[in-house]
Amino acid sequence: MSPEYSQIIIEQLKSDAVNKTAGELLKLVAQYLENEVVIATSFGVEDQVILDIATRNQIQLKAITLDTGRLFPETYEVWDRTEKQYNLQIKAYYPQSKDLEELVNKQGINGFRNGIDQRKACCSIRKLEPLSRALSNQRAWVCGLRQDQAITRANVEPIEWDAQFKLIKVNPLYNWSEEDVWRYVKAYDVPYNTLHDQGYPSIGCAGCTRAITKVQTLRDGRWWWESPESKECGLHNRPRV
Ligand code: SF4
């Protein structure tokens, strides 16, 4: 899709998206883009809610996921349960083995803890490159970003242009609170990662995620050795508010 054509579609979508529910927004995008819409799921609770909403509204989304090789066993469990419950095949993307081999041999198996550069190098090989492949030639991707998740996400909009991956980005839960998400999960019996019950609100790779206490914020369990402003893996780079 050319940038000019995308811009026209985005403007139309933005104006039609006003006051739409998450389901209505997904339907609208699927209609505009003739089902050429991908959801990149990490099996976080927001992604699970979106998959459930899509299924209930008969919206066809192509589901993909990134297996970094460092995920929690609980994440593989919910991946399996999700495919079975929704009768879905979620396409897995993996890091390029040669790049990964070089990275680990250069900076060590947990070298991502030694500094932001090392952490970003790891995210780049395990996440960014596979996602770039997954999104190439796609028209739009759906994400579970919410405005109140982090300082880095305060300006999330329902429809955005993703300049990094050059496609439309759809955030159906942009204005949902954490309570809204869990209310939906309970109401519709959505399968979720059991780590959420053990103090993990945001779940990524095992070596970079830990449980938080009641006084900590949502993203405090991710890359806890870094400052809040740098806590993105590069998949959702966005301008600051
Ligand atoms: S989250 Fe941690 S282990 Fe996962 S890709 Fe990023 S740095 Fe590597």
What tens digit of pLDDT does each residue of 57-100 get? 999 899 999 999 999 999 999 999 999 999 999 999 999 999 99
pLDDT at position 240: 42
Longest CA–CA span in the chain (Å) reads 51
Residue 240 belongs to some domain of the structure: no
Residue 241 lies in a domain: no
| 44 against 5, higher pLDDT | 44
The predicted-structure confidence for 152-177, as pLDDT tens digits, reads as follows 788 999 999 999 999 999 999 999 99
In-domain check, residue 129 = yes
| Ligand 1 lined by 201 (C-beta under 6 Å) | no
Give the number of the atom of ligand 1 that is nearest the alpha carbon of residue 112. Answer: 7
Looking at the structure of the chain, the number of domains it has is 1
pLDDT confidence of residue 3: 64
With cut-offs at 50, 70 and 90, classify the pLDDT of residue 237: low
Query: Of all protein residues, whose CA lies closest to atom 2 belonging to ligand 1?
Result: 208
Considering the entire predicted model, what is its pTM?
A: 0.88
Q: Is 233 in the pocket of ligand 1 (CB under 6 A)?
A: yes
Instruction: Give the range of the structural domain holding residue 182, as residue numbers without chain letter.
Output: 3-230
Please check whether residue 239 lies inside any domain of the structure. Answer: no
Q: Is residue 165 part of a domain?
A: yes
103 against 240, higher pLDDT: 103
Question: What is the average pLDDT score of the chain?
Answer: 90
Nearest-CA residue for ligand 1 atom 6 is: 123
Supply the CATH number for residue 184's domain.
Answer: 3.40.50.620
Residue 183 in domain: yes
At residue 4, does pLDDT exceed 80? no
Residue 194 lies in a domain: yes
pLDDT, one tens digit per residue, over 191-215 is 999 999 999 988 999 999 999 877 7
Q: Specify the residue with its C-alpha closest to ligand 1, atom 1.
A: 205
Considering the domain boundaries, does residue 76 fall inside one? Answer: yes
pLDDT tens for 15-29 read: 998 999 999 999 999
